[in-house]
Amino acid sequence: MELDKKALAVTRLVAAIYEWDPRGSTVSQDKGRRKVAVDRLVKDTLSDESTKQNVINMVLAMTLLTSGHVASVRNPEVFSERRAPRWVNILSPQSEQFLDILRFPSYVLVTKQDYANAKQLLPFIGASSMLESEVRAVFSKTGLPEKFPGLSQSLDKYSEKRGIGGYGHLYRGLSAMSDGAIIRVTDLSKPWDVTRGVSTSRNYASAEGFSQKDGPNHVLISFDNPHKRGFNALKLSKFGSEEEVILSGVTKIQNYQLTFYAEEVEEDENAKDYTIQVTPYSIFVRRGLRAFYGEDNISSTSAHEFIKIALSGKPFQLTGQNGATVTIRSKPETSTLKAQGVIQ
């Protein structure tokens, strides 16, 4: 499938317009100006029906991933037509307006075919990358720079935040993970396939908050995104405050910092709790508040082997800097993991 670059440029511009502050005197005046801007953009850029349909399909696919039925996005066959919502129920107000301008009837029911279309399209829009200059070229051919100079200034001044050329860094939080999943994330030898398209955020704090949403074992992943891949959902998503970007590609984790807790197996009144910190190059263990064990310049394979043993829940021995050997066991699901990876 070849991605329609013009359609992608239009969606990036629309996402930027819905974040633009037109400085009107009332909220409704601002909304009105944004609507006029989107309307003008559509009229000036989407004259042919196929590009228009491609834009509609992109917005619908993004909507199903961000506010549709999660299992049906992965497997459209599980979608129940009897419980189908209307599009209007899962669209953001901005997407509803945009689709209305595109003449899409958002009162119709979501279908299994819509999920099948989304499953097919998400890998492509999530992996899409487009130069800022290409998007600007589309913008400059419309009447928008003349009609709304404030919008042009907004794109210039906040070009990085608006992301019309994509985002160089994206973030993903994961909560309530098992210890096994923590072990998997810290395996640097194996990349992950996230080519189906996943929800990330341009906002670190938003992803961090999500990672701590519930349950133990918090994971926060920072993706370096050198090709600035992704589909800017932002306010087109029903959850606009999360500043979502749909991303797809193969990820390689390059670095991490893992912290978890352990306790001595032998119960004695002087038994201490242990704090264990592991990176791909080091292991550091604190007994109570004091440094107990440290190892630097180890290989990422050794670090991962240590994590596998430590998080298995089985007792293991450590000989501290003071020569004392202790048998300790990790406390289940007490991990906090910050990982950094690159989207290839």
335, two tokens: 């991990």
Cβ–Cβ < 8 Å for 337, 186: yes
CB-nearer residue toward other proteins: 178 or 277: 178
Task: Please report, as a single letter, which amino acid is at residue 325.
Answer: T
Site track for other proteins across 146-185, x = CB under 8 A: --------------------------xxx--xxxxx-xxx
> Running DSSP on this structure, what letter comes out for residue 322?
T
- Minimum Å distance from CB 184 to other proteins? 4
Query: Which residues in the 281-310 window bind other proteins by CB under 8 A?
Result: 308
Residue 95 sits in the site that holds other proteins (CB under 8 A): no
Alpha carbon separation from 78 to 19, 43, 69, 82, 329 (Å, rounded): 35, 38, 10, 12, 42
| Residue 239 C-beta: closest distance to other proteins, Å | 4
Alpha-carbon dihedral sign for residues 97, 63, 168, 340? positive
* Residues of span 232-271 touching other proteins by CB under 8 A: 239, 242, 244, 265, 267
Q: Helix and strand tally (H, E) in the chain?
A: 14, 11
Task: Write the binding mask 203 to 232 for other proteins: x where contact by CB under 8 A, - elsewhere.
Answer: ---xx-xx--x-------------------
- Closer residue to other proteins in complex, CB, 96/242: 242
- At 118, list the tokens: 């989304």
Cα 341 from chain centroid (whole Å)? 12
Nearest approach in angstroms of CB 175 to other proteins is 8
Q: What is the separation of C-alpha 117 from the centre of its chain, rounded to a whole number of angstroms?
A: 21
Question: Dihedrals φ, ψ of 201, to 5°?
Answer: -130, 150
Residues 62-91 that bind other proteins (CB under 8 A): 65-67, 70, 73-74
- The Cα–Cα gap between 286 and 261 comes to 10
Q: How far is the CB of 73 from other proteins (least distance, A)?
A: 7
Between 180 and 226, name the residue whose CB sits nearer to other proteins.
180
Q: Write out the residues near other proteins by the rule CB under 8 A.
A: 65-67, 70, 73-74, 172-174, 177-181, 183-185, 187, 192-194, 196, 198-201, 206-207, 209-210, 213, 239, 242, 244, 265, 267, 308, 311-315, 329, 332
